[in-house]
Amino acid sequence: MESKDLWVELKPGQPSYMVLRGTYGEKVYRAFRMTRQGVRWRFWRIYNDIYISAFEALLFVETTFGTQLRDHAIRISKERYALRQEAMRSEFESASAVWGEGEDSPKLPVSESDQTKRPDYEPHESNAAEGARSREPRGDGR
């Protein structure tokens, strides 16, 4: 789809907003696999909601704290963007391939009920007594 088919106009108001213009019917469906209404909704969401909100946040931060952090923020956002692009190009790897299955792999906390299901589980004396008490029949029939 060519850029001459679509363009953006600013609609003045309080607040102003952007409008997508052009002849976008079958071309849009073929290019983006969505209806005209879908294109209008996504345009509104991305450009008039997300994009403008990002600038609102920048304006708030920079009027409150100044612009001295802008260079750092731009650098960090470029690094994050590059990492995200790299992650999308890479193939899926299982966690065991990344971390390995040796002793250095991260250990997740295991709940007590999970521990009792293990074949090598041996309860501590205090836990064994507690477990025995919990299995005793209650006087109220439960």
Instruction: Dump pLDDT digits (tens) for 65-121.
Output: 999 999 999 999 999 999 999 988 887 777 777 666 655 555 655 565 555 555 566
Instruction: Tell me, yes or no, whether 14 lies in a domain.
Output: yes
Instruction: Tell me, yes or no, whether 106 lies in a domain.
Output: no
> What domain range is 15 assigned to?
3-88
Is a pLDDT exceeding 90 seen at residue 37? no
Instruction: Tell me, yes or no, whether 120 lies in a domain.
Output: no
Collapsed DSSP state (helix, strand, coil) of residue 42: helix
Predicted local confidence at residue 50, as pLDDT: 94
Confirm whether pTM is higher than 0.85.
Answer: no
Instruction: Tell me, yes or no, whether 103 lies in a domain.
Output: no
| pLDDT > 90 fraction of the chain, expressed in percent and rounded | 35
Map 90-114 to HEC letters: CCCCCHHHHHCCCCCCCCCCCCHHH
Instruction: Tell me, yes or no, whether 25 lies in a domain.
Output: yes
Instruction: Tell me, yes or no, whether 55 lies in a domain.
Output: yes
**Total structural domains in the chain?**
1
In contact, 18 and 11? CB cutoff 8 Å: yes
Q: How far is CA 141 from CA 6, 58, 131, 133, 134, in A?
A: 75, 65, 19, 15, 14
